[in-house]
Amino acid sequence: MGENTSLMTVALAGLAGTAVLAFATWLASLARRDASLIDRVWSLCILAAAAMYFLLLPPQAVPRGLCMLLIATVWALRLSAFISWRNWGHGEDRRYSQIRERNQPNFGFKSLYLVFGLQAVLAWIVSAPFLAGMSAARELNMLDAAGMGLALFGVAFESIGDAQMARFKADAANRGKVMDRGLWRYTRHPNYFGEACVWWGLWLMAMAGAGWSGAWAAVSPVLMTVLLLKVSGVSLLEKDIAERRPAYRDYIARTNAFVPGPRRGEPR
């Protein structure tokens, strides 16, 4: 009972970490009139929760916890820097502008719970593998190696995909064209596929430390995969793109949406 209570206290400290960072970003969003600032710090909210767990949990799980924290740091800083660079000078993202329009008047106050509070809670849920893995005392093992490999592969895969898309968009000759080169030749969303790999890999590390008692942390990769496929990722981005860009319909017909694979209708 005492151990469960202690673990709950640590979990709530993680939630406090995500909430404080989200609240500070909300204050900045009021001054900037830009609720999409949350996208720049969301990965940092998860990192804040992971750091809280690492600092507050008993030291017996330090080797695994340190490995997980290093992966989280690389992933979070890379993603935050990339989104900040990509969105710099463009104002509020149109998705958030639409939310703003639907929730007038007083969207500034409403965004505290509609946008920033919600994102803080989601970040806390996604941080579950860190809580499970960092609280486990088992020595590092082969499942850790598999999970670490999958997570690092995911970070590399999404980083390469983002870099390839950035270079493509920077070339004026590609304006109006569909990106179907590099990793984008085999999946329409290599960044999302890589992101999912990160969280399934971290969950494997949690399982390596906690065994089946850590299975509950699967809520993290399951939630991330659903969000990437059905909510804020593939479905949202492709909702009307095929209507606006006919060439994208052909790209959809030939290319997997998520898991990389050979292109359809081409000789192998």
> Confidence class of residue 268 from pLDDT cuts 50, 70 and 90?
low
- Over pLDDT 90: what percentage of the chain? 73
What pLDDT does 169 receive?
92
- Over pLDDT 70: what percentage of the chain? 93
Cβ of 8: how many Cβ atoms within 10 Å?
10
Q: What is the pLDDT of residues 49-101, one digit of tens each?
A: 999 999 998 766 679 999 999 999 999 999 999 999 999 988 898 889 989 99
User: Is residue 2 pLDDT above 50, yes or no?
Assistant: no
- The pTM score is 0.91
Taking CA atoms, 99 is separated from 36, 115, 224, 252, 264, in Å, by: 10, 9, 21, 28, 37
Task: Say which residue, 164 or 139, is predicted with more confidence.
Answer: 164
Angle at 157 between CA 155 and CA 159, to 5 degrees: 65
Look over the chain and give the mean of its residue pLDDT values, rounded to a whole number. Answer: 91
Q: What is the Cα 107 distance to its own chain's centre? A: 25
Give the chain's end-to-end CA distance (angstroms, integer). 59
Taking CA atoms, 152 is separated from 75, 144, 197, 200, 250, in Å, by: 9, 12, 8, 11, 32
What pLDDT does 89 receive?
86
What pLDDT does 129 receive?
97
Q: Stretch 15-38: mean pLDDT, rounded?
A: 96
Q: What is the pLDDT of residues 117-155, one digit of tens each?
A: 999 999 999 999 999 999 888 889 999 999 999 999 999
Q: How far apart are CA 198 and CA 131, in angstroms?
A: 16
What pLDDT does 44 receive?
98
Q: What is the Cα 213 distance to its own chain's centre? A: 24
Phi, psi of 58 (to 5 degrees): -55, 155
Phi, psi of 18 (to 5 degrees): -65, -35
Task: Say which residue, 250 or 221, is predicted with more confidence.
Answer: 221
261: left (phi over 0), alpha (psi -120 to 50) or beta: beta
Max mean pLDDT range (6-15, 97-106, 152-161): 152-161
